[in-house]
Amino acid sequence: MASVGRVDTTSARMRPAGAPDEPAVRRVCLLTGLAGADASDRHADPELLGMVWAAPYLHAPGAVALVVEDEEGVAGYCVAAADTAAFERWLEADWLPPLRRAHPQGSGDTPDDAALVRRLHAWPRAEPALVVAYPAHLHVDLLPRLQGRRWGRRLVEAVLTELGSRGVAGLHLVVDPANTAATGFYERLGFERLAADGGGVTYGRRPLG
């Protein structure tokens, strides 16, 4: 778990991310993908988790993507879609078709890979009422070496500021309830708990900026 409040003495810095960052971003996604812990043991395919949850935002029109990197490389990211409904349309039209061809229904060599494949073939839509009030959504993940040094706060606040400057009214996100470090973090950042169900805990923040 993050040791909260550590002083950051590293050379880490934040910068906009692009397509060349995709392998590093996918790696961070895998190494933090099990309710904040390393998900490597759950996946025979080390790329699929990141292809589902993080890489699309490096390519989607209008998405916001920041990475934080230090002397060892990219160690965290915050990625967001400004308009979740438009993002989902882009996923269906551009991102998911080649992934579906590469990962046919029923494939996946571990239960977690198989679950990702099911998701690829039946991507759930965000609730319409939620995306009216909170149209954007984000994901933030940091490797342990940069956790607890306020990079999470800096990344999320920079993304919220960018979205706010574009006139986006609000943002939502969904957290695995097992990830109590993350729920504590979002609550500290002023996110409001909107709902909790089998799909996770939904938080919202509005206005932005």
Least distance between ligand COA and beta carbon 80 (Å): 13
Does residue number 43 form part of the binding site for ligand COA (CB under 6 A)? no
Closest CA to 27 of 91, 75, 78: 75
Range 157-196, binding ligand COA (CB under 6 A): 175, 179, 181-182, 184-185, 188
Residue 76 or 103: which CB sits closer to ligand COA? 76
- The overall longest dimension of the chain from CA atoms, in Å, is 47
Residue 39 or 102: which CB sits closer to ligand COA? 39
| DSSP-assigned letter for residue 188 | H
Identify the residue whose tokens are 């950042």: 189
CB 8 within 8 A of CB 68: no
Least distance between ligand COA and beta carbon 165 (Å): 21
Residue 4 or 133: which CB sits closer to ligand COA? 4
Residue 23 or 184: which CB sits closer to ligand COA? 184
Least distance between ligand COA and beta carbon 178 (Å): 10
Least distance between ligand COA and beta carbon 199 (Å): 13
* Residue 26, helix vs strand vs coil: helix
Q: Which residues pair with 74 in a beta bridge?
A: 69
Looking at 32-179, list the stretches that DSSP marks H as alpha helix, in order from N- to C-terminal side. Answer: 48-53, 84-90, 96-102, 111-121, 128-133, 151-165
Least distance between ligand COA and beta carbon 173 (Å): 7
Least distance between ligand COA and beta carbon 141 (Å): 4
Range 95-154, binding ligand COA (CB under 6 A): 140-142, 147-153
CB 107 within 8 A of CB 117: yes
**Residue nearest ligand COA, Cβ-based:** 152
Residue 43 or 149: which CB sits closer to ligand COA? 149
Residue 34 or 63: which CB sits closer to ligand COA? 34
Please give the order of strands across the beta sheet that includes 136-142. 13-16, 64-70, 73-81, 136-142, 171-175, 200-205, 192-197
Taking the alpha carbons at both ends of the chain, their separation in whole angstroms is 29
Enumerate residues 6+ apart whose C-beta is below 8 A from 14.
66, 67, 68, 151, 154, 155, 158
Tell me which residues touch ligand COA (CB under 6 A).
2, 4-5, 32, 36, 140-142, 147-153, 175, 179, 181-182, 184-185, 188
